[in-house]
Amino acid sequence: MGLMIDGIYHAEDPGPDTSEDGKFQRQKATIRHWITAGGPFTPDPGRYHLYAAWNCPWAHRALLIRALKGLQDPITVAYARPRRTPEGWVFDAEGDYADPELGVTALHQVYARAPQPFTGRITVPLLWDRETRQPVSNESADIVRMLNDAFPGPDFAPESLRDGIEGWNARIYRDVNNGVYRAGFARTQAAYDEAVAQVFATLDEIEAHLATSRYLMGESFTEADIRLFPTLARFDVAYHYAFKCNIRRLMDYPNLWAYAREIHAMPGVADTVRFDIYKQGYFSPSELRNPLGIVPAGPVIDWSAPHGRDQSPA
């Protein structure tokens, strides 16, 4: 992934951040400005440009809220190539993986334009402001909430439900979104065992919850569902195999599998999903997980199968 220190990019990747006991520890985002009416970053159509990568679940959150809010035209997007190089996330000169906004060849070149010299990993998503010519945020959770609150369209985090949404968000991030990475990047058996047990304990609880609830917050489709979906979309094609999260598949959960297919069928959502690219990314060469970089042919999964959730659960 590479690392930038005081605005200077270093291609040497120190590898996953792990503690002495082998547990994976995710780095915190540090560019966290906020879009709000009357502030320095206002919600003007055409002002913002999103840097994303198809296979990154954190970028997928931002792509989902952009699609579900109908912001495809007001907020443009550039997709990095599925596999990183020593330069990190990179772009072609033209085509599907080009950046028509700044014409950069690597994402660290955008981070280098931050007013304060950036130190940290070069990650997606990154939201760019055309007016001030600087990055706005590289925190996916903030980007999702900003786009929801600042721009017109459906409200996926209404004030009346925010306490419940925040509760789900915290649990889903800890035990599912980041939980699969804690399992996949664990450096000891004990760290893996703890992480994978938490992943499936939480999925088991969500499966039971969805037996009587249409979405995580009852009848309301919310930000919590948006933040869960990227992990579900990648589970059977990537995490089950590449990250050893193989106690069960998503397809083994009747309620979760139907719930995931219902979200996938929502207008605009399927356009944010690329199962083929997920495999390219998660099965890229890795000394620890996939030394030869061989991408598996399967599994074959029919996400277009009827989800049967046209009526709320009893």
- Per the CB < 8 A criterion, the answer to whether 185 and 19 are in contact is no
pLDDT at 26 over 70: no
Which pLDDT does position 64 carry in this prediction? 98
* Residue pLDDT, tens place only, 267-310: 999 999 999 999 999 999 988 889 999 999 999 999 999 999 97
Using pLDDT thresholds of 50, 70 and 90, give the confidence band for residue 25.
Answer: low
Report the CATH architecture of 159-266.
Answer: Up-down Bundle (1.20)
- Contacts for 8 with CB less than 8 Å, ≥ 6 apart: 117
Other residues' Cβ atoms within 10 Å of the Cβ of residue 214:
17
Ranges in the chain annotated CATH 3.40.30.10: 3-150
* Residue pLDDT, tens place only, 225-278: 999 999 999 999 999 999 999 999 999 999 999 999 999 999 999 999 999 999
Express as a percent the part of the chain with pLDDT over 70: 94
Between 26 and 285, whose confidence is greater? 285
Q: How many Å apart are CA 99 and CA 90, to the nearest integer?
A: 10
Domain 3-150 classified CATH 3.30.565.10? no
Placement of tokens 């721009």 in the chain: 151
Ranges in the chain annotated CATH 1.20.1050.10: 159-266
Stretch among 51-65, 95-109, 138-152, 276-290 having the lowest mean pLDDT: 276-290
Q: Is 202 exposed, middle or buried (0-12, 13-18, 19+ CB in 10 A)?
A: middle
Which pLDDT does position 22 carry in this prediction? 66
Q: How many Å apart are CA 295 and CA 301, to the nearest integer?
A: 16
Q: How many Å apart are CA 293 and CA 67, to the nearest integer?
A: 32
Predicted model pTM = 0.94
pLDDT at 312 over 60: no
Which pLDDT does position 314 carry in this prediction? 39
Stretch among 12-16, 76-80, 82-86, 206-210 having the lowest mean pLDDT: 12-16
- Per the CB < 8 A criterion, the answer to whether 56 and 124 are in contact is yes
pLDDT at 21 over 90: no
Residues annotated as part of the active site: 56, 181
